[in-house]
Every structure is written in structure tokens, then in C-alpha cells.
């Protein structure tokens, strides 16, 4: 938490700064801050910038849930994930949120 607070004080979490970057670049930049991983960086960028059409490629849990929901082999490549998610435009962010939130409720547990 200290590292995140320090980053905020330094302006690294500034909405204008993050919005000026490509979403993927902003996420990678945030992940350099101790305590912010792939899932958190995606949430920060999507929510802070109000983006509805971002596919968080570096967040493995949502990718895994999507692969399982579609009956696809894991791990799914970036290219395969991007291709699959094209049909979700312009709401890829929300499709991933839904998959992640509801996926475990509708899928049979994996051993």
C-alpha cells in the first residue's frame, strides 16, 4: 500500500496521464508499482479512464475463464484471444467483467 500511495503522490495514478497512454502501455506502466498486478492494473486503467472496449491481455484469470466458457484449449494465445473478442466490440471490457464475475458460477469446477 505504501508503494501505491507514493505512486499516487508522484502523479503516476493521474487519470489524465493514464488516459494519454494506450491502455496496454498504461497497464504495463502501473504494474511497475509494487502491489499492482495484471488484474489491478486493468481495473485501474479501465475504471479511471472510463474505457468500455479494452481487452486485458495480461490478466490470466479472465483469459482462462473465457477459454473455458468457449470450450477452447488453454492457454489461449494473444492472437486467439483478440480474434475471439472482436465480436464483443465495443464492449470488450464489460464482456470480460461478466465472464470473470459469472464464469465460475456457470462452469463445472476444473480439478
How far is the first Cα of the chain from the last one, in angstroms, to the nearest whole number?
Answer: 34
Tell me how far apart the alpha carbons of residues 10 and 25 are, in angstroms, rounded to a whole number.
18
Query: How many degrees, rounded to 5, is the angle at CA 22 between CA 82 and CA 73?
Result: 20
Looking at residue 43, its pLDDT comes to 87
Cell 459469472 belongs to residue:
102
Instruction: Indicate the pLDDT class of residue 110, thresholds 50, 70 and 90.
Output: low
Q: What is the pLDDT of residues 28-66, one digit of tens each?
A: 999 999 999 988 998 899 888 888 999 988 888 889 999
pLDDT averaged over the chain? 91
b/e per residue 19-31 (b: at least 16 CB within 10 A): eeeebbebbebbb
Residue 83 has pLDDT above 90, yes or no: yes
Average pLDDT over residues 71-77: 92
Average pLDDT over residues 69-97: 94
Residues in the chain, total: 111
DSSP string of 26-72?
Answer: HHHHHTTSTT--HHHHHHHHHHHHT-SS---TT-HHHHHHHHHHTT-
Average pLDDT over residues 58-85: 92
Looking at residue 111, its pLDDT comes to 60
Amino acid at each position: 500500500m505504501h508503494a501505491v500511495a507514493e505512486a499516487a503522490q508522484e502523479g503516476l495514478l493521474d487519470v489524465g496521464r493514464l488516459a494519454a497512454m494506450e491502455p496496454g502501455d498504461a497497464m504495463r506502466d502501473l504494474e511497475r508499482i509494487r502491489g499492482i498486478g495484471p488484474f489491478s492494473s486493468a481495473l485501474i486503467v479501465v475504471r479511471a479512464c472510463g474505457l468500455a472496449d479494452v481487452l486485458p491481455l495480461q490478466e490470466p484469470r479472465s483469459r482462462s475463464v473465457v477459454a473455458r466458457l468457449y470450450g477452447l484449449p488453454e492457454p489461449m494465445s494473444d492472437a486467439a484471444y483478440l480474434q475471439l473478442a472482436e465480436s464483443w466490440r465495443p464492449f470488450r471490457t464489460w464482456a470480460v467483467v461478466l465472464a470473470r464475475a459469472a464464469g465460475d458460477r456457470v462452469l463445472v469446477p476444473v480439478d
